[in-house]
Structure 1
Amino acid sequence: MGFCFLSPLFFLCHLNDQSPDPFRPAEDSLGDNNPVAANLGTDNPDDFGACRICPFTGKKANRANKISFSAHKTKKLQFVNLQYKRIWWEAGKRYVKPRLSTKALKTIEKNGLDAVAKKAGIDLRKE
């Protein structure tokens, strides 16, 4: 190591070069194992809000513009209105509690839970 202006303790700590250099970040500080760093570099704008998708209808977040008083447009996401709802499943003789959109709830009331789940390809026996 080179000459250090910090303190004698710094020099004594780095005599053996066993500890990492304090001026250089560690290799694993922003590596592949860091979930925060992995999510910061997403190139696909559709990745945001991916967990907020209705399993019955497939509705997902809509990218829209937020328009200020000066008509400056900034991007925003309009999320789906997802709710946890306890629904009686007649074929299974029990309640299921899926997270679904309010539009899917209206569709289930109209067509029945079995028909909507079958059309969406959802197996209610797992829940």
Structure 2
Amino acid sequence: MASICSLSTRVLLPAQLSSRSSEVAGAGARSLCASRVTCAPSTSSLLVSPLASRKCDLTGKKANNGYKVSFSNKRTKKLQGANLQYKRLWWEEGNRFVKLRLSTKALKTIERKGLAAMAKEAGVKLEDFAV
């Protein structure tokens, strides 16, 4: 099996680690062996259930990729997440509650415009979010 990582050309499975470490001579044989282990494809990671998207249901707000700048001006990537809250709101026209994941700005806008008007503007069917 060919490896996609540049450390090694051979993929070692966890069962092969103990036999491989005996082949490597000298102190620190375990650490040498562990550095050769590359990403082996596993079928269990393909069957993971999807997580809820971190996105506002009405405005579409989502995380922003930015930089965290240190005093020495080093820049490291930082994910600036939106302030999302799960809210159960009363929908007058549907005469029922709906549960939405909203940004706090969307909550303020709902107070001004109303839930139905904002959902219509966003093109969202509130029936899909009925509790």
TM-score (norm 1): 0.62
**Counterpart code for 2:103:** S
Shift of 1:119: 1.6
SS of 1:77's equivalent in the other structure is: strand
Corresponding residue to 2:40 among 8, 24, 30: 30
Q: Flag the 1:97–1:73 CA change in 2: closer, same or farther, 3 A.
A: same
Q: Deviations over 1:32-88 (max 9, x none)?
A: 63427x9xxxxxxxxxxx821112111111111101122111010100000011211
Q: Deviations over 1:5-55 (max 9, x none)?
A: xxxxxxxxxxxxxxxx8369xxxx83363427x9xxxxxxxxxxx821112
- The runs of 5 or more residues in structure 1 that have no matched partner are 1-20, 39-49
Moved more, 114-123 or 50-59: 50-59
Partner of 1:86 in structure 2?
88
Distance 1:55 1:80 in 2: 12
Shift of 1:117: 0.9
Distance 2:44 2:121 in 1: 39
Moved over 4 A (4+): none
- The runs of 5 or more residues in structure 2 that have no matched partner are 1-14, 21-38
Partner of 2:115 in structure 1?
113
Partner of 1:59 in structure 2?
61
Larger % of helix: which? 2
SS of 2:82's equivalent in the other structure is: coil
- The percent of aligned pairs where both chains have the same amino acid is 56
Partner of 2:35 in structure 1?
none
The total of aligned residue pairs comes to 92
SS of 2:108's equivalent in the other structure is: helix
Distance 1:30 1:103 in 2: 44
SS of 1:54's equivalent in the other structure is: coil
Partner of 1:46 in structure 2?
none
For the pair shown, the structure with the greater C-alpha radius of gyration is 1
